[in-house]
Chains A and B, each alone.
Chain A
């Protein structure tokens, strides 16, 4: 099955095109030093059962107390996703038994979530903006971890994660392709990282997604959906959706029906498999948690947070375009991570913004990737990049030399000025010196000069290259061009 030309998002089957309909539930761990209802630390990577309070372990008589920081973070996230903040919300108990769920229920929000409808802008496959609806965001507790591989016959329980605050961000079924889903998750992640309500660290599980996938004939009635649980990378999200959609198309085209079920994605095979059917679905017996009062927010509380919001990615893209004259594409790349923006704005100070963005996104990102270095370990400081671009702008070095300098900067973290000075790489702008270079090249290539003069214009580039070579790349290309032209008449 391949994507068709008419709509690159469609799956083309035996019976024609199929449209994928996707809704995502993102579980984003709230950035806060303590848990949603207890004072235990949320620090990642501690020894098992190190960050556990009496409340987390559900000792008899223990009571939850809401962590106001987590409330603030949820409101902030809601505002960043253009969503309605509900002044009245309720914490409910979601009841089920599992060994890593000490209370026997998860405190979550069911009928009355803290954040209502909102939206987020993503870039679709054609580079166009697309608005994805957000259904709601609610706060809930994370569960602990069951470790099944520590002992041949026993399972161990680690409660460090128990009770850590999660925001469940539920999208509307507005996504139409694995790429859009990936773009949506990336964008949500970027926004949350900007406003510092979630670190977005997918490897550590700070951001995970459940994907609801169904297929239908283009613009037809919605099909039966399957939910793929707990995907913890953007790559897996795309793969799982693609596999699942194709699986559903195949079933439908062979006259089958889709069972509404919960599925798991096997990262080793790239396939989804059934976890439980609708019939086996838990009856969670939600009811308002009688240990907690309904959460009531005041207008002033909300407006205070609103007035304190940092610049959001979309606003930042607009500003970078107008302030630095860079393209929307480049602005989007820079805005993807807050640290990129910080770096860019520092290195672009008083410089040509376009030049800086090119150096950053192609040269710098290229070298980082090639050497497998994280951006925060980047050996080139923004000041040094700024300096390098300055050297290019004032023609101290040519763009070509700059690349060599850049590589040395990357390897040594030295300032470009020092490198240029040490290696004598300043551009040669002295006419007489360049004339000597040109004369040398002409003398050494008399036959080529003849050919050129007899009409083989293409050889001009050859002469330029030779002069640059002789000058060890330091000759000013403009002057070389001018002098060559005058000497080759």
Chain B
């Protein structure tokens, strides 16, 4: 029955409707796949009993013909989403055994439409990392060339790996500086970071509030459109959520891209960027040309400031967002002789090194005497970066860039933090500007590792982004599957 794993969301929905197989069969197949891929260390928590219960309801709904929009679709959920009654740790020791009494808006939107939760997927601790190596429960192994133990990327490493390994039909991710797009690229799947405000942040463990955005990680562009449609929507509980209408992304896919303008920013290049990645970019440009798009080289000179700005703004917000993990009300508590000592013990043992590092950086850039030089300056530059995108989008409709400077590197190979931070160099600018971005696989490099290409668009133009991605996807015809996947 493992052939059920081959179907995408849209295929599965139509086959379920035709009763070619049952939800129960589909869910059991995925449970089986999860068991088989345990070595990749992707799931932190599974909820198979609950999933099978839900499958019964779904099958009943199909039987009665009142199936919901996403009835019976088995999904994995990044551990940053609070899930009612299911342990939610953000891959941190400090939230060990934390079981929320509430469900995040985004996951609730999915369950409401009949999707089924398989379990919680590993990620970097509090989504801080680009390799999944900061996860408290150990790194996830990329299903591509899994015997080489490569990174799935991060922070949504578990989500991207699970989708690539067919241990979930699709997964939710969160993207703060590239945490959906970079792992999607490393794992050869599609990852979409929507416009800031498109998906509610309510119930998602906060890393950097002005940057965090939920999005889908899927096998293909159509599935990304379907997922986004269900995940999105205005939420009065999130003051930064947008009340813009959510289009029918899936139905409106497939529009011609003839004569649309695609900008190729010259700054999205770096020392040591591999020829395979540059080649993937050229391939993409050719696909676009063949489909009648106009290719325009553009300049985004402020790009070089994005990474420094990001590593001020994100830690600043994180240092404050993570203050609530103090051992007083929930999560881990390590006692001490005084309140201060209890704080110190709890936070010292509860947080990993990367999280501590970012809390310290964030605390520093906000402290009196440094605020103006760092945080305030960074916010000003962030505004300029946003303006630069706004201006460029007056000249072109979309931007096409590599998603990452390299393909998936070996776990434990990056000794130097700055090199690690450079992983996000192509994804961070869109996060700072709040604009949507999508990464999709184009080809394999010489090491048989997937190469991703990123498309960026205007605020709330996910539809256009998906259309362009769909055209590229069709041309690239990327069909390889990782050897770590269940077949």
Contact with B along A301-327 (1 / 0, CB 8 A): 000000000000000000000000000
**Complexed CA–CA distance, A95 and B98 (Å):** 24
Q: Of A65, A102, A283, which contacts B239 at CB under 8 A? A: A65
**Complexed CA–CA distance, A104 and B323 (Å):** 5
Structural contact, B104 and A61, CB atoms closer than 8 A: yes
> Contacting chain B: which of A197-205, A285-293, A350-358?
A285-293
Residues of A within 8 A of B328 (CB): 99, 102, 157
Structural contact, A97 and B323, CB atoms closer than 8 A: yes
Query: Which of B102, B210, B320 is the most central at the interface, judged by chain A CB atoms within 10 Å of its CB?
Result: B320
Q: Of B205, B316, B371, which contacts A60 at CB under 8 A? A: B205
**Complexed CA–CA distance, A62 and B397 (Å):** 36
> Contacting chain B: which of A2-10, A51-59, A270-278, A420-428?
A51-59
Residues of A within 8 A of B349 (CB): none
Residues of B within 8 A of A58 (CB): 324, 329
Structural contact, A60 and B320, CB atoms closer than 8 A: no
Within the complex, the shortest CB–CB distance from B478 to chain A, in Å, comes to 35
Residues of A within 8 A of B104 (CB): 61
Within the complex, the shortest CB–CB distance from B327 to chain A, in Å, comes to 10
Interface of B is mostly: loop
**Complexed CA–CA distance, A157 and B330 (Å):** 13
Contact with A along B327-341 (1 / 0, CB 8 A): 011100000000110
Within the complex, the shortest CB–CB distance from B318 to chain A, in Å, comes to 11
Residues of A within 8 A of B239 (CB): 63-66, 291-293
A105 touching B320 in the complex, CB below 8 Å, given contacts A57-B329, A63-B237, A157-B328 = yes
Residues of B within 8 A of A59 (CB): 82, 100, 102, 329-330
Structural contact, B366 and A65, CB atoms closer than 8 A: no
Structural contact, A287 and B205, CB atoms closer than 8 A: no
Beta-carbon contacts under 8 Å, A96-111 to B:
97-99, 102-105
Q: Does B209 contact A (CB under 8 A)?
A: yes
Q: Does B175 contact A (CB under 8 A)?
A: no
Structural contact, B317 and A290, CB atoms closer than 8 A: yes
Within the complex, the shortest CB–CB distance from B198 to chain A, in Å, comes to 16
Structural contact, B367 and A104, CB atoms closer than 8 A: no
Residues of A within 8 A of B368 (CB): 283, 285
**Complexed CA–CA distance, A57 and B102 (Å):** 13
Beta-carbon contacts under 8 Å, A237-283 to B:
283
Within the complex, the shortest CB–CB distance from B58 to chain A, in Å, comes to 27
Q: Does B280 contact A (CB under 8 A)?
A: no
Q: Does A193 contact B (CB under 8 A)?
A: no
Residues of B within 8 A of A283 (CB): 367-368
Q: Does A216 contact B (CB under 8 A)?
A: no
Q: Of A60, A98, A99, which contacts B324 at CB under 8 A? A: A60
Residues of B within 8 A of A95 (CB): 319-320, 323, 366
**Complexed CA–CA distance, A62 and B202 (Å):** 6
Residues of B within 8 A of A138 (CB): none
Beta-carbon contacts under 8 Å, A79-119 to B:
93, 95, 97-99, 102-105
Within the complex, the shortest CB–CB distance from B314 to chain A, in Å, comes to 10
Interface of A is mostly: loop
Minimal Cβ-Cβ distance residue in A for B201: A63
Q: Does B238 contact A (CB under 8 A)?
A: yes
Structural contact, B324 and A103, CB atoms closer than 8 A: yes
Query: Which of A65, A97, A285, A289 is the most central at the interface, judged by chain B CB atoms within 10 Å of its CB?
Result: A285
A285 touching B201 in the complex, CB below 8 Å, given contacts A59-B100, A60-B98, A61-B206 = no
A285 touching B320 in the complex, CB below 8 Å, given contacts A61-B203, A61-B205 = yes
Structural contact, B320 and A104, CB atoms closer than 8 A: yes
Within the complex, the shortest CB–CB distance from B371 to chain A, in Å, comes to 7
Structural contact, B206 and A65, CB atoms closer than 8 A: no
Please report the total number of B residues contacting A with Cβ < 8 Å: 44
Residues of B within 8 A of A99 (CB): 326, 328, 339
Residues of A within 8 A of B210 (CB): 290
Residues of A within 8 A of B236 (CB): 65
Residues of B within 8 A of A57 (CB): 329
**Complexed CA–CA distance, A99 and B104 (Å):** 26
**Complexed CA–CA distance, A65 and B100 (Å):** 20
Residues of B within 8 A of A291 (CB): 206, 209, 239-240
Q: Does B343 contact A (CB under 8 A)?
A: yes
Interface residues on A, range: 20 to 34
Q: Of B88, B204, B326, which contacts A97 at CB under 8 A? A: B326
Residues of A within 8 A of B367 (CB): 283, 285
Residues of A within 8 A of B455 (CB): none
Q: Does B285 contact A (CB under 8 A)?
A: no
Q: Does B44 contact A (CB under 8 A)?
A: no
Residues of B within 8 A of A293 (CB): 239-240
Minimal Cβ-Cβ distance residue in B for A54: B102
Beta-carbon contacts under 8 Å, B191-239 to A:
201-206, 208-210, 236-239
Q: Of A63, A97, A103, which contacts B238 at CB under 8 A? A: A63
Structural contact, B343 and A97, CB atoms closer than 8 A: yes
**Complexed CA–CA distance, A236 and B334 (Å):** 41
Residues of B within 8 A of A286 (CB): 366
Minimal Cβ-Cβ distance residue in B for A100: B328
Within the complex, the shortest CB–CB distance from A36 to chain B, in Å, comes to 13
Q: Does B403 contact A (CB under 8 A)?
A: no
**Complexed CA–CA distance, A60 and B324 (Å):** 8
Within the complex, the shortest CB–CB distance from A472 to chain B, in Å, comes to 73
Q: Does B95 contact A (CB under 8 A)?
A: yes
Minimal Cβ-Cβ distance residue in B for A57: B329
**Complexed CA–CA distance, A285 and B375 (Å):** 10
A287 touching B320 in the complex, CB below 8 Å, given contacts A102-B329, A293-B239 = yes
Residues of A within 8 A of B375 (CB): 287
Minimal Cβ-Cβ distance residue in B for A155: B339
Q: Does B363 contact A (CB under 8 A)?
A: yes
Minimal Cβ-Cβ distance residue in A for B80: A61
Q: Does B73 contact A (CB under 8 A)?
A: no
Residues of B within 8 A of A65 (CB): 236-239
**Complexed CA–CA distance, A287 and B209 (Å):** 13
Within the complex, the shortest CB–CB distance from A195 to chain B, in Å, comes to 27
Q: Does B435 contact A (CB under 8 A)?
A: no
Residues of A within 8 A of B204 (CB): 61
Q: Does B264 contact A (CB under 8 A)?
A: no
Q: Does B385 contact A (CB under 8 A)?
A: no
Structural contact, B323 and A60, CB atoms closer than 8 A: no
**Complexed CA–CA distance, A104 and B100 (Å):** 20
Contact sample, A vs B, 10 pairs, CB 8 Å cutoff: A61-B204, A63-B239, A65-B238, A66-B239, A285-B320, A285-B367, A285-B368, A287-B316, A287-B366, A291-B209
6 smallest CB-CB distances across A and B, nearest first, come from A104-B323, A290-B209, A290-B210, A285-B366, A58-B324, A61-B203
Given A59-B329, A95-B319, 7 further pairs, Cβ under 8 A: A54-B101, A54-B102, A59-B82, A59-B100, A102-B329, A105-B320, A287-B316
